[in-house]
Amino acid sequence: MEAQGCLGRQLLWRIIVKSISIPKFATQAMLGLSVALTAHFATIQDVAARNLYVSPTGSGTTGENWKTAWQDPSKIDWTKVASGDHIVIDGGTAGVTYNTSVTVPVSNIVIRQSSAAGHSGQVIFSGLKQGSPLATGVKVTGSNVHLVAVRRSGIKLEFYGAEGVNIQTNGNSLRNVEISRITGFPPYAQGKKGGVVFGGSNNHFINCDFRDCGISALELPVAGANNLSVFNNCTFGSNSYGFWSNNGTAIQGARTAGAQSTIYAHSCVFGPYVDYGIDIANGNARVTNSLFLSARVSNVKVAPPAGSSATVTVANSTLYEKKIDPMVHIATATPEYTVSTNANAKLRLTNSIIWGGFVDVPAAQKINGGGNVQFAVSGNTVALAPSLVDPQFVDSKTLSAMVSPIAFIPRPLTSSDFSVVPGSPAVGKGSSIANVANICAPYGPTTGLPTAVGGP
């Protein structure tokens, strides 16, 4: 049987806290999470944690064991679910697909992939439905709800029309969850929102992978609340070039003027070949120890409209953008900005490596926070560092060869070595993420850039 009672609490603590790398910048966020967890554990002390089960082979009655399991997440009897319960999802021996959409109305629970023998295969929530896809995979309306897999991509949500996961409450987390292929609705794929649509306070996304979502993570802040979200050890990217040149954004911040919003991203990989790595127009964001891999438009965009304010810091990160093609800066060409700001932006880059791309920054704007190394860039280069210095990546030869649309193939970026050679002027700069393949399986398009990206 699965873990119960005290053992269940120990499992929850290991799942949510022990394996999280906690950078200094996230101390306040983690303190809030700790308070939430303490309250959660106090609740469990009063009501012993139970395991409740979901399996397509169950009878669909009480959910108290595999034999009586509810047959689908959408068939869970929430009146029988109490604070502290674990809902255990059957993955079979080689994976189980649930064609489903579920709303989670209760608080203080864990929904997790089974770790039991014969039940620990990948759990897939699919939005495939004849005629039109289901809109949402999982919508959380309770708080302190944790969707957890036992290994990376152990839970996968795919083929939803609008969004994989919707979270706009507090103290929730996703861990080891993959969200891919947000499709939109017929006939022209309209209605897409994002892989995860998030708002609220103290929500954490840990070891999550986003693929071909349009917008991977879309912030819709909760009005009047201090919205705070943390992305830790996540990857965002595309396996295709999209249609109508729409490859999407990794993290898109609030579009609501005056939103009380803070986004932290630590040890994340943005790209390859999304439209934007981060796109922040309102609120605050801090990105540390992260790797940006050749966004189609801009690795980092901070461009608040008039009347809005955005404050962003990017520290100890590596920003790679393929070298500028001489014809790229014409009206119909792909911009290939490594950084793009406007006069209203407040952006600081510190102790980072910037390689390639165009620096689209107003002439008088100061974004250099010190300690940066830049090379092979064009545009307003003095905004980032006073001179051009080769950081000497281990795989510089491979990266330097990607100088034309035909030669540029995004997939190798996720298996290239972005560490610097001994003695490099960039030692101690940039991200410690040397090879994305050490985090997850390589991903990205496997062919050169198409000469024309069209639609259906």
Q: Which two tokens stand for residue 44?
A: 């469990």
| DSSP result, 26-41 | GHHHHHHHHHHHHHHH
**Residue 424 domain boundaries:** 5-438
Q: Is residue 197 situated within a structural domain?
A: yes
Q: Kindly tell me the sign of the dihedral angle through the C-alpha atoms of 7, 9, 14, 16.
A: positive
What pLDDT does 46 receive?
Answer: 37
What pLDDT does 398 receive?
Answer: 83
Q: C-alpha angle with apex 431: 220 to 263, nearest 5 degrees?
A: 15
CA 411 from chain center: how many Å? Answer: 18
What pLDDT does 2 receive?
Answer: 60
Domain total for the chain?
1
What pLDDT does 35 receive?
Answer: 43
Q: Is residue 266 situated within a structural domain?
A: yes
pLDDT digits (tens, 9 = 90+) for 269-287: 999 989 999 999 999 999 9
Q: Is residue 445 situated within a structural domain?
A: no
Query: Running along the chain, 456 residues long, what does each successive block of 10 average in pLDDT?
Result: 48 46 47 44 50 98 98 98 98 98 98 98 95 96 98 98 98 98 91 97 98 96 95 95 74 91 98 94 97 94 94 98 61 78 96 95 94 95 95 91 74 95 97 96 86 48
What pLDDT does 450 receive?
Answer: 67
Per-residue b or e along 210-224, where b marks 16 or more CB atoms closer than 10 Å to that residue's CB: bbbbbbbbbbbbbee
Q: CA 355 to CA 377: how far, in whole Å? A: 6
Phi then psi dihedrals of residue 191, to 5 deg? 90, 5
CATH number at residue 352: 2.160.20.10
What pLDDT does 20 receive?
Answer: 43
pLDDT digits (tens, 9 = 90+) for 372-412: 999 999 999 999 999 999 999 999 988 887 766 667 889 99
| 311 conformational bin, left if phi > 0, alpha if psi -120 to 50, beta if neither | beta
Q: Which two tokens stand for residue 89?
A: 């999802």
Q: Is residue 446 situated within a structural domain?
A: no
Q: Is residue 429 situated within a structural domain?
A: yes
Amino acid sitting at position 87: I
Q: Is residue 156 situated within a structural domain?
A: yes
What pLDDT does 171 receive?
Answer: 98
Q: CA 97 to CA 90: how far, in whole Å? A: 10
Q: Is residue 456 situated within a structural domain?
A: no
What pLDDT does 270 receive?
Answer: 98
What pLDDT does 130 receive?
Answer: 83
Q: Is residue 454 situated within a structural domain?
A: no
